[in-house]
Each structure stands twice: as structure tokens, then as C-alpha cells.
């Protein structure tokens, strides 16, 4: 039956019913659990030996260092590059729990999503059987059988693998909290190698990842990854592992992308009309020919480019019901990304789906109060939130009686000039449709902004302190001018000079 079904399939993605159901007896499940327990035990022993080498592990002559990216290092056992043992170790930004939960998936769509967000070359993916999930009440987080197909390089055949996945939070041999993820290759009659017309080769890869909190480095994770690889005759070059380490260093951004997928993005018809905003809703700087209006895809509000960051997101043209999609860099305001991280870390593991909603109330941060967002003539400094020690964003948590207030502080202003900017092209066209305004009271955000500027200035939160002035030692009031103010004043002066020159040139 499977042979007849596979003969009708000529392209990816394969139908949902392509693979038959996998039926396992209680004894077979127990054997799989024992195999995973043994793999974890052996990995913990190797990890303990690795830790005994100190902060700068040095492997013997039988190992070759392939490269270092950031704080990660890859070593490979000498020998055949197509059938080898590799180890990746070092420090990552982010919480170790998020590292494990990022890979959690109970549906084929979720499995494809994290592969596409992280690698960008996913072809297809399928959950063959969920044996145990987070709701099964087992000591481990997950146990299941999965299949994935990737296109590692454009000029080689696709590589697919059928594997048993195990995920758990436990203790290492030194009693420290760790997270463990094991991928063990399986040979199942329900998942044989694909037909030759699919141009795919089956890989055999045993991968064990161990992560734990980094000592002395808040919001950092120590990674130890071991892999025994059979790349089906393909000799993997060293730069492949360097690219893999680069992706692991960006794990915090992939976590953001997965959380954004769970939330879903706001439809364009519900975005705020650009013409209704004369200034950025976050930093309060006026829009101009050099500072264009940009829409956040989560809340639909209008911001300047410096108040936005780019994250991978599902292509808008893709139907939400389709499993396969492309990832495009998409603009989100810093407040929404911070709010997503703050509220929904728990959504990484449970099997929930992101759906496109007209009004995602959980991310509504701004409201059309009719009042200016400028505070006493000053501009708010933008900043970088580091919930996962990410260099992009930083958020101030300031609880209040009504809601939690978010405000950003000094940032490097993440940009990506290679991204096609639809908002910039349509800034002066006026084709955008007006949408409903959403969010909390803007006056509360203003009060939080005022507090944030005082923190940046090193001032105390005294009742009599004003945002514009502070008393010097001689008792005279001195103005506190920011760099953003100076730039804004220079731009205004330049515009007046240009207008004066144009008036003088006219007869």
C-alpha cells in the first residue's frame, strides 16, 4: 500500500497521509525509553569529562578544530568527513529552557516552522507519532518519532532523516539543572527512504544537546552538542559548521520568530492610517522626508525606522493553513517584541497555533488618545531589550495599578537596508486604509517614559524633579539636552534654510 502511494508522489511537500500510522506496543515504547535513557547517560559522562578540561577544553591529536564563532567552537574527529563525530561547545545568549522549548513540536506545521526559521532550507517535515508530550505527565518533556527533509546546499541532493526525539529537563552528574535533547536515527517500515525520483538521500545522525545556565553570566547558556553523523556520502565542509554556529548564536531571534508565529500578525486592513500620525508613537520624533513612517506588523501602529527591529516571519502571501512557507524579514516595534517575550515564553512548548487575528488585544500597546507623545519638549532615548541578553531590545518593567508599562532605552538601532520597505515606498501615496486604534492609555506610557529618562540621567525619582531641568550646585536651573534634541533642531533649521533659499530663488 505504501509503495503504491509513494509512486504517485513526485514533488514536495508530501501529502499529510503519505506516511502510514506508526503503531507501537507498550513493550516497544519501553525499549525506546531505555535507549534514550542510555544515550543521555553516556552523553552526561562525556559532558563531565569535557567539563573537567576547564574553561578552555583542548582535545587530543585525533580531533581537529573547525572554527570558532562568537563563544562557540566546533571540533571534528579526524577521518572521513562524511562519517564523523563532531562536538560544538561554548556559551550562547538566552535562557537554556528557551533553547529546549524552541525545538518542541507536536504537529507537522510546528516542526516545519522551527526548521524553516532556524535553517531557512526546510523542504518538508512530518510528525510520525507523538509518544509522550508535555501533557502526558512523564518525567521527560517529549518523546516522539519525526521526519524532516532539508536542502543543505543548492547543488546537492536533499537530505532527509527519520529520528526519535527525546527532550527533558534533569540534573547532570554534578547536580546542576540542565536541558537535554536527543535525536536518534530510526529505521521504520512506515518511513522508508523516498523514491529516487524525489532526489533525496537518507542521513543517519545521532545528536545529543546539553544546555545549562552559565555561571557568572546572567541570561546565558552553556552548550555542549555531540553528533555522530553519516551524511550519505556527502563530505561536509568546515564552513557548514561555522554557519551552524552562527545560527545557534542567533537563537534568541528564532525564539522571537516562533512566538510571533504563535500570535499571528495584524491584517493590513486594520493598520493605523499613516496620515493620522505626525510623529513616532515610541520616540516622539517628527516624521520627515528622511524619517519615514513604518508600520509594526503586530500592533499596526506607526513608528520610525529606529524604533523597529527585523525578525523572521511567515510570508504574508502564504495561507495560514499551509504547512510549507517561506521566511521573510519583517518589521516589528521594539515594544511588541518585548511584550511577546515577556508574556508568552510558555507558548514555546504547548502545541498551539498562531492565527491571524484582526485585533490581537494581547499586543495592543498604543491608543489614539489625541495627545502628543512628546514629553516636555524632549525625546525619549531608544534602547535595546535583553530579556535573553539579546543586543536588539531591552525593556523596563514598571508595574502599575492598571497595567504593566513598557519603555525602551538606549539602542544601537538595528537596521537591514537589504529589506524591501513597502512602507517607505508608499509613505506619500496615501493608499493605506484607516484602521481602528488599539491599546492601553497613552498617558500611562508617557509617565513610564518620564521615569526612563530619569534613569538614563542618573536622577532619583523625587516628586519635585522635572524632566527638563535639574538644579546645579550653584542653585541655577540648567537644561538637560539630549543628542536626539540637537539632531532634531538641526534638521528643523536645515528645513527652514532650504525653504528660505527656495523663496529667494522665486521671482
Tens-place pLDDT, residues 195-234: 989 999 998 889 999 999 999 888 899 999 999 877 666 6
Interval 415-438 mean pLDDT? 46
List Cα–Cα distances, 410 to 283, 407, 414, in angstroms: 11, 10, 12
CATH of the domain at 453: 3.30.40.10
| Long-range pairs for 214-220: beta carbons < 8 A, 24 or more residues apart | 214/91, 217/91, 218/389, 219/93, 219/94, 219/95, 219/386, 219/387, 219/388, 219/389, 220/91, 220/92, 220/93, 220/94, 220/389
- β-strand partners of 294: 303
Which range (314-328, 375-389, 482-496) has the least confidence?
A: 375-389
Contact by Cβ (8 Å): 47, 172: yes
Q: Do residues 109 and 190 touch, judged by C-beta distance below 8 A?
A: no
Rounded Cα distance between 330 and 422, Å, is 11
What does the angle CA 29 – CA 31 – CA 37 come to, to the nearest 5 degrees?
A: 105
Indicate whether 192 and 209 sit together in one domain: yes
pLDDT of residue 365: 47
Phi-psi region of 123 (alpha: psi -120 to 50; beta: other; left: phi over 0): alpha
- Cβ neighbours of residue 269 under 8 Å, at least 6 residues apart? 358, 433, 435
In a domain, 503, yes or no: no
Q: How do strand 158-171 and strand 200-202 relate by DSSP bridges?
A: parallel
Going by the DSSP 8-state scheme, the letter that residue 188 receives in this structure is B
The predicted structure's pLDDT at residue 237: 74
Same domain for 203 and 69?
A: yes
> What mean pLDDT value characterizes the chain?
75
The Cα–Cα gap between 394 and 387 comes to: 7
Domain ranges, residue 221: 13-249
Structural domain tally of the chain? Answer: 2
The residue among 349 and 166 whose pLDDT is bigger is 166
Residues shown for the chain: 507
Lowest mean pLDDT among 14-18, 108-112, 304-308, 356-360: 356-360
The answer on 138 and 79 residing in a single domain is yes
Q: What pLDDT is stored for residue 401 in this prediction?
A: 33
Helix H or strand E encompassing 149: strand 142-150
Is residue 341, in this structure, part of any structural domain at all? yes
* Residue predicted with more confidence, 341 or 142: 142
Work out the pLDDT band at 397, boundaries 50, 70, 90: very low
143 touches 36 (CB < 8 A): yes
Q: What is the pLDDT of residue 451?
A: 43
Segment 250-260 shows an average pLDDT of: 91
pLDDT of residue 422: 56
Q: What average pLDDT does range 138-154 have in this prediction?
A: 92
Check whether residue 298 and residue 439 sit in a common domain: yes
The confidence score (pLDDT) of residue 438 equals: 33
Per the domain annotation, does 265 fall within a domain? yes
Residue 501 inside a domain? The answer is no
- Least Cα distance to 321 among 75, 93, 107, 69 occurs for 107
More confident position, 163 or 344: 163
Residue 242, C-beta contacts closer than 8 angstroms, at least 6 positions apart: 66, 67, 69, 74
Residue 234 is given by DSSP the state -
Question: Considering the domain boundaries, does residue 59 fall inside one?
Answer: yes
| 176 Cβ neighbours under 8 A, 6+ residues apart | 212, 213
Residue ending a domain, choose from 231, 249, 267: 249
Which pairs count as long-range contacts for 71-78, CB under 8 Å and 24+ apart, including other chains?
A: 71/249, 72/223, 72/245, 72/248, 72/249, 74/241, 74/242, 74/244, 74/245, 76/238, 76/241
C-alpha cell at 457: 540621567
Distance from C-alpha of 240 to C-alpha of 244, rounded to nearest angstrom: 6
- Given this model, what pLDDT does residue 374 score? 37
Provide the pLDDT confidence category of residue 320 given band limits of 50, 70 and 90.
Answer: low
Our CA angle for 101, 415, 387, nearest 5°, is 35
Confidence of residue 168 (pLDDT cuts 50, 70, 90): very high
H-type helices in 358-482, by residue range? 422-425, 442-457
- Is the same domain home to 199 and 305? no
Q: Among residues 103, 76, 79, which one has the least CA distance to residue 87?
A: 76
Taking Cα atoms as reference points, which of 250, 216, 228, 220 lies closest to residue 43? 228
For the segment 170-197, the average pLDDT, to the nearest whole number, is: 94
Average pLDDT of span 157-167: 94
For residue 480, being part of any structural domain is answered with no
The contacts of residue 472 (CB under 8 Å, 6+ apart) are 478
* DSSP per-residue letters across 198-223: G-EEE-EEEEEEEEEEPTTSTTEEEE
pLDDT score at 321: 66
Directed axis angle between helix 108-119 and helix 251-263, to 10°?
140
Provide the pLDDT for residue 358: 42
Do 124 and 60 fall into the same domain?
A: yes
Segment 28-49 mean pLDDT: 95
Q: Please tell me whether residues 240 and 123 are part of one structural domain.
A: yes
Q: Give the confidence band of 360 by pLDDT, cuts at 50, 70, 90.
A: very low
CA angle 440, 446, 447 (to 5 degrees): 105
CATH number for the domain including 188?
Answer: 3.30.530.20
Which of 199, 218, 249 delimits the end of a domain?
249
Same domain, 281 and 137: no
Per-residue pLDDT of 429-471, as tens digits, reads: 544 444 443 333 333 334 344 444 444 444 333 444 344 444 3
Query: Quick one: pLDDT at residue 24?
Result: 94
| Shared-domain flag, residues 237 and 377 | no
Report residue 88 CA to chain centroid gap. Answer: 21
Residue 178: name the closest of 50, 342, 340, 29 by CA. Answer: 50
Q: Could you tell me which of 107, 144, 121, 135 has the C-alpha nearest to residue 24?
A: 144
pLDDT at 46 over 70: yes
pLDDT at 393 exceeding the cut of 60: no
Contacts of 218 (CB under 8 A, 6+ apart): 389
Model pTM score: 0.69
Radius of gyration of the chain from its Cα atoms, rounded to whole angstroms: 27
CA distance to 147, 421, 465, per residue, from 417 (Å)? 36, 9, 41
Let me know if residue 489 belongs to a domain: no
Cβ neighbours of residue 383 under 8 Å, at least 6 residues apart? 334, 393, 394, 408, 409, 410, 411
Domain end, chosen from 212, 230, 249, is at: 249
What integer pLDDT is reported at residue 232 of this predicted model? 60
Q: What are phi and psi of 134, to 5 degrees?
A: -65, -20
Whether 229 and 312 share a structural domain: no
Query: 174 and 317: one domain?
Result: no
Tell whether 236 and 266 lie within a shared domain.
no
Cell of 378: 524632549
With a cut of 70, say whether residue 179 has pLDDT above it. Answer: yes
Q: What gap in Å lies between CA 414 and CA 184, rounded to an integer?
A: 39
pLDDT digits (tens, 9 = 90+) for 322-356: 788 999 999 999 999 988 887 655 566 664 333 33
Please report the pLDDT score of residue 322 as a whole number: 79
Residue 385 included in any domain: yes
Amino acid at each position: 500500500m505504501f509503495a503504491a502511494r509513494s509512486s504517485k508522489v513526485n514533488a514536495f511537500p508530501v501529502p499529510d497521509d503519505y506516511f502510514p500510522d506508526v503503531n507501537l506496543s507498550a513493550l516497544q515504547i519501553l525499549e525506546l525509553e531505555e535507549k534514550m535513557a542510555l544515550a543521555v547517560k553516556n552523553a552526561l559522562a562525556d559532558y563531565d569529562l569535557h567539563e573537567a578540561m576547564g574553561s578552555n577544553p583542548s582535545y587530543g591529536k585525533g580531533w581537529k578544530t573547525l572554527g570558532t564563532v562568537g563563544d562557540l567552537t566546533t571540533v571534528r574527529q579526524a577521518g572521513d568527513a562524511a562519517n564523523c563525530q563532531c562536538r560544538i561547545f561554548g556559551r550562547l545568549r538566552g535562557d537554556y529552557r528557551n533553547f529546549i522549548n524552541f525545538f518542541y513540536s507536536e504537529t507537522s506545521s510546528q516542526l516545519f516552522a522551527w526548521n524553516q526559521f532556524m535553517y531557512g532550507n526546510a523542504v518538508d517535515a512530518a510528525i510520525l507519532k507523538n509518544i509522550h508530550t508535555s501533557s502526558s505527565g512523564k518525567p521527560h518533556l517529549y518523546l516522539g518519532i519525526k521526519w524532516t527533509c532539508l536542502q543543505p546546499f543548492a547543488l546537492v541532493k536533499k537530505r532527509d532523516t527519520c529520528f526519535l526525539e527525546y527532550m527533558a529537563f534533569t540534573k547532570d552528574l554534578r547536580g546542576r539543572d540542565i536541558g537535554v535533547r536527543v535525536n536518534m536515527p530510526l529505521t521504520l517500515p512506515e518511513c522508508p527512504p523516498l523514491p529516487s525520483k524525489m532526489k533525496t538521500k537518507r542521513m543517519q545522525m545521532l545528536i545529543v544537546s546539553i544546555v545549562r545556565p552559565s555561571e557568572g553570566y546572567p541570561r546565558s547558556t552553556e552548550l555542549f552538542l555531540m553528533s555522530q553523523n553519516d551524511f550519505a556520502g556527502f563530505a561536509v565542509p568546515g564552513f557548514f559548521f561555522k554557519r551552524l554556529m552562527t545560527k545557534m548564536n542567533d537563537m534568541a531571534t528564532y525564539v522571537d520568530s516562533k512566538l510571533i508565529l504563535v500570535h499571528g500578525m495584524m491584517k493590513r486592513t486594520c493598520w493605523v492610517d499613516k496620515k493620522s500620525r505626525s510623529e513616532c508613537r515610541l520616540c516622539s520624533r517628527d516624521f520627515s522626508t528622511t524619517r519615514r513612517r513604518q508600520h509594526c506588523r503586530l500592533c499596526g501602529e506607526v513608528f520610525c525606522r529606529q524604533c523597529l527591529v527585523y525578525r523572521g516571519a511567515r510570508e504574508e502571501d502564504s495561507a495560514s493553513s499551509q504547512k510549507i512557507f517561506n521566511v521573510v524579514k519583517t518589521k516589528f516595534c521594539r515594544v511588541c517584541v518585548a511584550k511577546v517575550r515577556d508574556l508568552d515564553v510558555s507558548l514555546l512548548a504547548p502545541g498551539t497555533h498562531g492565527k491571524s487575528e484582526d485585533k490581537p488585544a494581547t499586543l495592543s500597546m498604543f491608543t489614539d488618545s489625541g495627545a502628543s507623545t512628546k514629553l516636555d519638549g524632549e525625546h525619549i532615548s531608544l534602547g535595546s531589550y535583553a530579556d535573553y541578553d539579546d543586543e536588539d531590545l531591552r525593556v523596563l518593567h514598571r508595574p502599575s495599578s492598571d497595567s504593566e508599562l513598557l519603555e525602551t532605552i538606549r539602542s544601537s538601532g538595528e537596521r537591514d537596508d537589504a529589506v524591501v520597505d513597502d512602507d517607505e515606498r508608499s509613505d506619500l501615496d496615501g493608499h493605506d486604509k484607516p484602521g481602528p486604534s488599539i491599546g492601553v492609555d497613552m498617558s500611562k506610557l508617557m509617565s513610564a517614559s518620564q521615569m526612563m529618562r530619569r534613569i538614563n540621567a542618573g536622577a532619583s525619582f523625587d516628586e519635585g524633579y522635572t524632566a527638563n531641568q535639574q538644579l546645579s550646585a550653584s542653585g541655577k536651573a540648567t537644561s538637560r539636552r539630549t543628542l536626539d534634541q540637537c539632531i532634531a533642531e538641526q534638521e528643523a533649521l536645515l528645513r527652514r534654510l532650504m525653504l528660505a533659499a527656495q523663496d529667494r530663488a522665486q521671482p
